[in-house]
Structure 1
Amino acid sequence: MAEFHILGQLQSASKFDDRSSVFCRYSFQAGPNWTIVSGCPEGQTVSAKLDYDKTVVWAHPLDIHYVTKGIQGWPKLILQVSCLDSIGRSWIVGYGCCSLPAVPGLHTIHVNCWVPSTTTLTDRIRQYFLGGSHQLIQSDIINLGLNRSKLSTQSKGTVQLQVNLVLRNFSQFGVEYK
C-alpha cells in the first residue's frame, strides 16, 4: 500500500480583527480509500491573544500517517478559527480549507479564511453589541463548496501551516512526483 505521512505544525494566524484570544479547531478529511495508521485526524490549538500586528503564534504540532490503495480522495485540512472573549464566550471568526500538496518535501501553506457575512441591519447590531457571528449548520460547505455560491461571505484572516510530506510506494500506483 502507498503511504502518506504528514509532519508539521499549525504555525500562526494573522489579520483576524478580534481583540480576544484566538484558537483553531482542525480536522483532516480524506476519501474512503484512505486509512489512518497513526495520529489523530482532528484537534485544537491553544488559545492565545493577538499581538500588535494582529498575529497569534500557536506552533501546534501535526503528525498523521495514512495508507491508501489509490489517490482518489486526497487528504484535505479543514480549519475553524474561533475567538474566546474575556467572559468565556466563544464564536467562529473564520472557516478555511486546503488540499495538501501531492509533492513530498517541506511546504508552507497560507489558508485564507472566511465567514458568512451579516446581511441585515438587525444582524449587524446584534453582532456589534452581543458579539458572535453567523455559523454554518452544514460543514460540508467548507470542504466541498456545495451551495457556497448562494452564501454571502466576508474575507477574514489567514492561517499559516508548515508541513513536511513523505510519500512512499506511490510509484506502484502510477503517481510520479519530482
Structure 2
Amino acid sequence: MAELHILGQLQRAVDFSENYSLFCRYTFQAGPNWTLLSGSSEGQTSSGVPNTEKCVVWAHPLDLHFVTKGIQGWPKILLHINCLDSLGRSWVLGYGYSTLPTAPGFHTLKVPCWIPAATSISDKIRQYFIGGSHQLSKTDIISLGNDRCKLNTLSKGIIELNVCVVLRNFTQFGVEYK
C-alpha cells in the first residue's frame, strides 16, 4: 500500500485581535480509502497569550502515518481557534482548514481563519456585553465551500503550520509526483 507520513508543527497564530489566551483544536480528516496507522487524528495545543506583535507561538508537534488504496479523499486539517478569558470562559474565535500538500518535502502552510458574523443588533449587543461568538452547529461546513458561501463571516487571523510530507510506494500504484 502507498504510505503518507506527515511530520511537523502547528507553529503559531498571527493577527488575532483578541488579547485573550489562545489555543487551537485540530482534526485531521481523510477519505474512506485512507487508514491512520499511527499518530493522533485530533488534538489541542497549549494556550498562550499574544505578544506585542499579535502572535502566539505553540510549536505543537504533528506526527501522522497514513496508508491508502487511492488518492481520493487526500487528508486535510480542520482548525478551531479558541480563547480563554480571565473568567475562565472559552469560546471559538475562528475556523480554518487546509488540504495537506501532495508534494513531498517541507512546506509552510498559512491557513486563514474566519468566524460567523453577528447579523442582528441584539446579537452584536450580546457579544459586546457578555462575550463569546457565534459558533457553527455543524462543523462539516468548514471545508465545504458551496455551503459556506451562504454565511456572513468575519476574517480573523492566520494559523501557520510547518509540515514535512514523506510519500512511500506511490509510484508502484501509478501516482507520479515531481
Which TM-score band (shorter chain)?
A: over 0.9
Give, in angstroms, the shift of residue 7 of structure 1. 0.2
Q: Map Cα deviations across residues 24-75 of structure 1 (whole Å, 9 max, x no partner).
A: 0001000000001100000000010001111000000000000000000000
Give, in angstroms, the shift of residue 12 of structure 1. 0.2
Determine if contact 1:82/1:91 at 8 Å carries over to the other structure. yes
Determine if contact 1:20/1:85 at 8 Å carries over to the other structure. yes
**AA partner of residue 154 (structure 1):** L
**Which segments of 5 or more consecutive residues in structure 1 lack a partner in the other structure?**
none
**Which segments of 5 or more consecutive residues in structure 2 lack a partner in the other structure?**
none
Q: Map Cα deviations across residues 116-165 of structure 1 (whole Å, 9 max, x no partner).
A: 00111111111011110000000000122352121111100000000000
**AA partner of residue 84 (structure 1):** L
Give, in angstroms, the shift of residue 15 of structure 1. 0.7
How many positions carry a matched residue from both structures? Answer: 178
Determine if contact 1:12/1:57 at 8 Å carries over to the other structure. yes
Matching of residues 11-50 of structure 1 within 5 Å: 11-50=11-50
* Matching of residue 104 in structure 1 with residue 104 in structure 2: yes
State TM-score, norm by structure 2.
0.98
* Matching of residue 66 in structure 1 with residue 72 in structure 2: no
- In structure 2, the partner of 1:122 is 122
- In structure 2, distance between residues paired with 1:136 and 1:87: 23
What root-mean-square deviation, in Å, do the aligned CA atoms of Structure 1 and Structure 2 show?
0.7
**AA partner of residue 75 (structure 1):** P
Classify the secondary structure of the residue corresponding to 1:123. helix
- In structure 2, distance between residues paired with 1:106 and 1:137: 35
Classify the secondary structure of the residue corresponding to 2:19. coil
- In structure 2, distance between residues paired with 1:146 and 1:86: 37
State TM-score, norm by structure 1.
0.98
**Would you identify which runs of 4 or more consecutive aligned residues in structure 1 move more than 3 Å?**
none
> What is the identity percentage for the equivalent residue pairs of Structure 1 and Structure 2?
63
